[in-house]
Amino acid sequence: MEMVLWNVLLSFLLAIVGWIIREKSEELHRIQILLNKTREEVAKEYLTRAEVHADIARVLDRLDRLDVKIDRLMEHRNAN
């Protein structure tokens, strides 16, 4: 009788442990899916390093052209 009780008790405990492991495994899978979706969304919203460098280069080019124009304007005013 004692052996049957141990078998029932161990079977019950193993069933609980198995259920907990399955639940945690499903939760881990769900979190991995959410993490992958988050990575995709972040990639859509933010610029890459190359894009930032290209934009900064455009701004600096415009500033250089503006600087040249200001220098010409100052030379023109000093000549008059």
**Domains of the chain: which residue ranges?**
1-46, 47-80
Report the distance separating Cα 78 and Cα 15, nearest Å: 93
Report the distance separating Cα 46 and Cα 66, nearest Å: 29
pTM reported for the whole predicted model? 0.48
pLDDT of amino acid 11: 94
Task: Give the residue-averaged pLDDT of 10-38.
Answer: 94
Task: Give the residue-averaged pLDDT of 41-55.
Answer: 86
Tokens 């899916």 correspond to: 33
pLDDT band at 46 (very low <50, low <70, confident <90, very high): confident
